[in-house]
Amino acid sequence: MPTSPSTGAGRYAPSPSGDLHIGNLRTAILAWLFARTTGRAFVLRVDDLDRVRPGAAERQLDDLAAVGIDWDGPVVYQSTRLPSYDASVARLTAAGRTYECYCTRREIQQAATAPHGPMGAYPGTCRDLTEAERAERRAQGRPAAIRLRADVDEYVITDLLHGEYRGAVDDLVLRRGDGVPAYNLTVVVDDAAQGIDQVVRGDDLLASTPRQAYLAELLGLPAPVYAHVPLVLNREGKRLAKRDGAVSLADQRALGNTPGDVVAAIANSLGYTARTTAELREVFEPQRIPVKPWILEPIGLFRPEGCP
């Protein structure tokens, strides 16, 4: 049943680069639980600007439905939203808030980090180029990225699980040299356009959230409530990946496990006994989320008891 837009919305926004793995499904279920238990709508957005594998988006939507996630309204595909991203870049440019950057990735890595900036921050090489210097670089055929001219070097956000979080802001890329709008821009523009006021996602994205909240402020867009949830890691403590074994729903089906078995394992990792997302919704308490990552041994976890 669609919820009135006035109540706000949560979302899940996968990249269709392959099948969702159990870590992705767990984050999606958490985002759905946060939204549904706070009276919000829940929307899906497919981040298909880059790294698209044919058929992956359809399989991801099927898998989300199979674990009991429902959503409101049509799925939004970012590839249909290019004019909105261009309009936002144009607005910032008109306000003197952007500049062209001709640096290669390698040049940025080799350049000294900005004096007060975080490790890996853009050192500002192209920030104050003269028009003649820009013309020279264009004549060399270097593709220009568009960067934000930031006037802060940090920004504070509030996260439901992490509290006040202060993080670095640099002159982030808004549009890459190949013309593709950057994630930090598209996420901000789309969250606002979709009425999303609650962002629940993996805590690997916490560090880039101050940049996004700052950008939202510059664009006059409201900042959502954030909850960055712990990731699922493999035995080596690295982010779960395809090579870790039977990590997708299809892999689990091949082992004889149902989507309900996978939901039960995810519920268990959150401290609940439930076999459906509907059951989980009845008992879910956001403040009880374990703050540590879930270490998963994908095959062993789902083997029926007694099997080697």
What residue numbers does the annotated binding site cover? 11-15, 47, 101, 103, 122, 126, 183, 201, 242
Q: Which one, 16 or 117, has the nearer CB to Zn ion?
A: 117
C-alpha Rg value of the chain to the nearest Å: 21
Minimum distance from residue 100 beta carbon to Zn ion (Å): 8
Q: By the 8 A CB rule, do 298 and 22 touch?
A: yes
Minimum distance from residue 187 beta carbon to Zn ion (Å): 23
Minimum distance from residue 102 beta carbon to Zn ion (Å): 6
Cα gap 289→229, rounded to integer Å: 8
Q: Which one, 103 or 296, has the nearer CB to Zn ion?
A: 103
What size, in residues, is the chain?
308
Nearest residue to 266 (alpha-carbon basis) of 9, 33, 39: 33
Residue 202 pairs in a beta bridge with 229
Minimum distance from residue 33 beta carbon to Zn ion (Å): 42
Q: By the 8 A CB rule, do 230 and 43 touch?
A: no
β-pairing, 145-148 vs 98-101, is antiparallel
Structure tokens at 121: 């921050």
Cα gap 7→196, rounded to integer Å: 10
Q: Which one, 17 or 125, has the nearer CB to Zn ion?
A: 125
Minimum distance from residue 205 beta carbon to Zn ion (Å): 24
Q: Vertex 289, ends 273 and 160: CA angle to 5°?
A: 150
Q: Which one, 102 or 155, has the nearer CB to Zn ion?
A: 102
For binding to Zn ion (CB under 5 A), which residues are involved? 101, 103, 125-126
Q: Which one, 21 or 147, has the nearer CB to Zn ion?
A: 147
Provide the annotated binding site for L-glutamate.
Answer: 11-15, 47, 183, 201
Place of tokens 């669609």: 2
Provide the annotated binding site for ATP.
Answer: 242
